[in-house]
Chain A
Amino acid sequence: MNKIDARGLSCPAPVLETKAAVESRHPRRIEVLLDNEPARQNVVRFLESQGYRTWVDLDGELYTVIGTGGDSAPVPEPVATEPVGAGNKIMVMVAADRMGSGDDVLGAKLMFNFIKTLKEMGDELWRLVFVNSGVKLAIDGAGTVADLKRMEDAGLTILVCGTCLDHFDLLERKQVGQTTNMLDIITAMQLADKVINI
């Protein structure tokens, strides 16, 4: 049944529930029960923006919004919405200044390329964390700093382990990212949907 009972809910909950139902089931016909005028306006607008024809039954205080024709040609959304990364937060933890083991010169080159290419993860890249010798990628003179700065300017949160900087005596030389501690790193791991260790 594509019936949503949104009575007792205030905006924007009714329109968000309607949206979830439309997206998961793509019903040809949908009925939404509502008990306030603002919710009616929002739900009607949303359904119409998705290509439904709507009408409203008013019975006392109770509105029933009925939308039909939802699976006709999909209507482009009025705003440019990229696929959303909201549910997918990726944390990348870099624990060395080289990638892999075997040849250190190759490892350094690979790491340089890795940082350069990392932005291709797009919006899902949520935290970039440097620990142990990884912090050396964020200090002056490192070839990776320019790319890291660009990512930070674009909104990425970069965390650099303070204990590690201190250990290598590099506290004064950090060029990019926020100095962080183990509690913040663990919290970030907990909040992330995916943690990638390099």
Chain B
Amino acid sequence: MPPGDLDKALCGLNFPTNPNVLVGLSRADDAGVYKVSDDLALIQTVDFFTPVVDDPYWFGQIAAANALSDVYAMGGEPKTALNLVGFPLKQMDISILRQVIQGGIDKAEEAGVVLLGGHSVEDEELKYGMSVTGFIHPDRILTKQGLNVGDRLVLTKPLGTGIVNTAIKGNLASGEITRKVTAIMAALNNTAATVMRAYPVHACTDITGFGLIGHLAEMMRGTGLGLKIILEKLPIIDVALGFASMGMVPGGTHKNRSFLAPMVDMDEGVEPGMQDILYDPQTSGGLCIAVAPTSADGLVDHLQSEGVEHAAVIGEVVDYPAGIIQVV
């Protein structure tokens, strides 16, 4: 759901608390964290969605990578998963579901995660995702909070999947582009999560439905700090800009912009397609990592050498103007 609507539903509700809850709903993060002992906490998260690609096997992989990503964004290691399935039995052959789940199994296996089971319901449209549990040391949890002035922001996957997927629906993208964006969405954030453990990382989140700006806004919220994003440093799927300028822009991009634009300071001369990319909802996007300034280049080099080829420093945390994302 768009951030504004979700806030309306949740605002003012009293969620039960417990001293073992280290990260909970009162401060919504990528996943919840529950302390089991002094050296072990459980990370729990759930995510599912409707197909983003035509190929059922790849849809399964992407949905799984997306669900696992929240555990990586918290700095943890996913361990177990449960499938969540909504399936239109009357309209689709059951063999399609088999391929979706095969995609999920293969992606879970790649992540070293075991599937323990799942739950399915008959639905009007296909939906697939996972509930994932991971482990982390309670002292090593990374949340969206914790930005320091001067921190550099590192993004690990290129932006524009929402726009390119719209262009694919409009038959504008070649098979090569389709394969490229599919591979980007299906890529696990595990390497990025492993590499960043060796660096002074202060906060982390993954970029998904609220778009880059939406997730940056969540990192900034309540810190009294501001962010500066450098357009030319952003990793972008190269064809996304062209597709956006043709109007291949999903509804979510517009919704994100109408909710988030007041906290963005962007030159009006920035071309509309580029603006769209900043607000574009990402499917299984990359991690956005806030790291101490002297370690930023080292982190990016390390990420790239481990195969996270699009990793880049995209901006920094500033003390003024507070509460504003400047795009320069």
List the interface of chain A (C-beta within 8 A of B): 10-12, 15-16, 19, 37-38, 41-46, 49, 77-87, 122-124, 155, 157, 183-184, 186-187, 190
- Give the 7 A-B CB pairs with smallest separation, nearest first: A123-B175, A38-B254, A79-B242, A11-B251, A45-B247, A46-B247, A42-B247
A76 to B145, CA, bound (A): 46
Of all chain A residues, the one with the shortest Cβ separation from B239 is A79
Of all chain B residues, the one with the shortest Cβ separation from A18 is B247
- Closest CB-CB distance, A11 to chain B, in whole Å? 4
Report yes or no: B99 in contact with A187, Cβ–Cβ below 8 A.
yes
List the interface of chain B (C-beta within 8 A of A): 54, 57, 93, 95-96, 98-99, 166, 168-176, 178-179, 183, 239, 242-243, 245-251, 253-255, 272
Given A12-B170, A84-B173, A123-B175, the answer on whether A187 and B96 have CB atoms closer than 8 Å is yes
Report yes or no: B176 in contact with A81, Cβ–Cβ below 8 A.
no
Main secondary structure of the interface of A (DSSP, over half): helix
A contact residues around B251 at 8 Å (CB): 10-12, 38
Report yes or no: A123 in contact with B246, Cβ–Cβ below 8 A.
no
Number of contacts between A and B (CB, 8 Å)?
A: 106
- Closest CB-CB distance, A95 to chain B, in whole Å? 21
Question: Among the listed A41, A79, A84, A155, which residue makes an inter-chain contact with B249, where contact means beta carbons less than 8 Å apart?
Answer: A41
Of all chain A residues, the one with the shortest Cβ separation from B257 is A38
A172 to B199, CA, bound (A): 41
B contact residues around A19 at 8 Å (CB): 170, 172
Of all chain A residues, the one with the shortest Cβ separation from B254 is A38
A contact residues around B179 at 8 Å (CB): 155
Report yes or no: A87 in contact with B171, Cβ–Cβ below 8 A.
yes
A187 to B98, CA, bound (A): 10
Report yes or no: B250 in contact with A11, Cβ–Cβ below 8 A.
yes
Report yes or no: A86 in contact with B175, Cβ–Cβ below 8 A.
yes
Contacts beyond the supplied A12-B250, A46-B247, A183-B98: 6 A-B pairs with Cβ under 8 Å: A11-B254, A41-B247, A79-B246, A86-B175, A155-B175, A190-B93
